[in-house]
C-alpha cells in the first residue's frame, strides 16, 4: 500500500515547501522511501490528483469546531463548509473568526473539537503562533475539488484516502513533551537535535510497540531528519506513521458517531470505542 505523510504549511514556497513523505506499507513494515518538496499549491493540488490507491495523513485540521460552524451558518455538511471557506479570501476568513471571538466571553473564544481534546492539539480557530486556522483555510477547501475520500468528513469511496494527522502525538510516545524543532529555521540547538535523535532512534527500534508495524528508515534519510532544524522531514514521516496505522483499522481508526463537520485525528490514542 502506498502511504503518504504531508507536513503542511499555509504559505508554501521553495524555501519552506510542503514536505511529503513517500512510503510503502508491506508485510508489517513501513518503508520511508523519500521526502519530496511541494513548492507551491499547484504542486500540492497535482499531488492530490495522482491516481490511487493511496492513503495520506495531512498535518492540518480538516474541520472547525461544530459550535463555530453552526453559529456562523457556514453549512450543514463538511462539503458545504469547505466550499464556502474556499470562496473566502484569507482576510475574509480571518475577519470572520475575529468577529466571532470578539463577541465571546473570556475563556470561551477558541473552541476545541472532540478530537483536539483527546489528542491535546490546538484549536483549529487559532491563527497566530501555530497558525492551524490558516492551515485549515488553505488546506481543507483543496481536498474537496480533488475528489479524494476525506475521512470521516466527506467519504467518497475514492481509492485516494485523506486522513487528518498530528505528528506531535506520535512524538510524545517517545520523547514526551520535549521540543524537537524550530519552525523559524533559527540557529540549531543541541537540545532540539538530541530530541530528534532520540525520537528517530525510538521509532526505528520500537515503532511496532505503538503502531503494530516496524519502520524502515534509511541511514541517509535519518541523518537528514536529524539535521533538519525545522522538523519538516521528520513530521512528514510521523504523519505517514499515523496514516499507515489507520489503513489497517476499521473505519480508518475513527470512532463511530464522529461529527463529520469536525473531522478526526487518526492515532491509537484517539481511537475510542
Q: Percentage of the chain with pLDDT > 70?
A: 98
Cα–Cα distance, 134 to 245 (Å, whole number): 27
SS3 state of residue 272: coil
The answer to whether the beta carbons of residues 21 and 5 sit under 8 Å apart is yes
* Tens digit of each residue's pLDDT (9 = 90 or more) over 122-181: 999 999 988 999 999 999 999 999 999 999 999 999 999 999 999 999 999 999 999 999
Kindly state the percentage of the chain with pLDDT values over 90: 95
Pairing label, strands 2-7, 18-26: antiparallel
- Angstrom distance (rounded) from CA 156 to CA 260: 13
Contacts of 162 by beta carbon, 8 Å cutoff, 6+ apart? 56, 58, 62, 143, 148, 149, 150, 151
Grid coordinates 502511504 are at which residue? 3
Instruction: Give the β-pairing of 160-164 and 18-26.
Output: unpaired
Strand partners, 25: 30
Q: Is pLDDT of 11 > 90?
A: yes
Residue 183 has pLDDT above 70, yes or no: no
Model confidence pLDDT, tens digit, residues 206-250: 999 999 999 999 999 999 999 999 999 999 999 999 999 999 999
Helices (H) and strands (E) in the chain, counts: 10, 7
The model carries a pTM of 0.96
CB 146 within 8 A of CB 155: no
Residues 156, 154: Cα–Cα separation, whole Å: 6
pLDDT at 187: 65
Binned at pLDDT 50, 70 and 90, residue 188 comes out as confident
The per-residue pLDDT for 186 is 54
Q: Which residue has the cell 471571538?
A: 101
CB 223 within 8 A of CB 230: no
Band the pLDDT of 182: cuts 50, 70, 90: confident
Contact 60, 44 (CB under 8 A): no
Query: CA 272 to CA 72: how far, in whole Å?
Result: 29
Cis peptide before 219, with omega less than 30 degrees from 0? no
> Helix or strand or coil: residue 214?
strand
Amino acid at each position: 500500500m502506498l502511504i503518504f505523510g504531508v507536513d503542511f504549511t499555509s504559505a508554501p514556497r521553495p524555501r519552506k515547501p510542503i514536505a511529503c513523505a513517500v512510503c510503502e506499507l508491506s508485510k508489517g513494515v513501513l518503508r520511508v522511501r523519500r521526502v519530496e518538496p511541494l513548492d507551491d499549491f499547484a504542486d500540492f493540488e497535482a499531488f492530490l490528483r495522482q491516481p490511487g490507491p493511496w492513503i495520506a495523513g495531512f498535518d492540518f485540521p480538516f474541520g472547525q469546531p461544530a459550535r463555530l460552524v453552526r453559529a456562523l451558518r457556514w453549512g450543514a455538511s463538511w462539503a458545504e463548509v469547505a466550499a464556502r471557506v474556499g470562496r473566502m479570501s484569507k482576510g475574509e476568513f480571518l475577519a470572520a473568526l475575529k468577529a466571532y471571538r470578539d463577541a465571546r466571553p473570556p475563556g470561551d473564544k477558541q473552541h476545541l473539537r472532540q478530537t483536539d481534546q483527546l489528542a491535546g492539539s490546538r484549536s483549529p480557530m487559532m491563527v497566530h503562533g501555530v497558525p492551524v486556522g490558516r492551515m485549515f483555510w488553505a488546506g481543507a477547501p483543496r481536498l474537496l475539488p480533488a475528489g479524494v475520500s476525506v475521512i470521516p468528513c466527506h467519504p467518497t469511496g475514492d481509492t485516494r484516502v485523506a486522513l487528518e494527522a498530528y505528528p506531535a502525538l506520535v512524538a510524545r510516545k517517545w520523547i514526551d513533551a520535549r521540543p524537537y524543532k524550530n519552525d523559524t529555521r533559527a540557529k540549531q540547538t543541541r537540545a532540539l537535535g538530541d530530541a530528534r535523535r532520540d525520537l528517530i532512534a525510538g521509532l526505528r527500534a520500537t515503532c511496532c510497540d505503538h503502531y503494530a508495524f516496524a519502520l524502515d528508515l534509511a541511514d541517509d534519510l535519518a541523518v537528514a531528519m536529524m539535521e533538519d532544524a525545522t522538523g519538516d522531514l521528520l513530521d512528514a514521516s510521523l504523519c505517514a506513521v499515523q496514516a499507515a496505522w489507520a489503513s489497517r483499522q476499521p473505519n480508518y481508526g475513527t470512532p463511530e458517531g464522529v461529527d463529520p463537520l469536525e473531522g478526526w485525528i487518526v492515532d491509537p490514542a484517539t481511537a475510542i470505542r
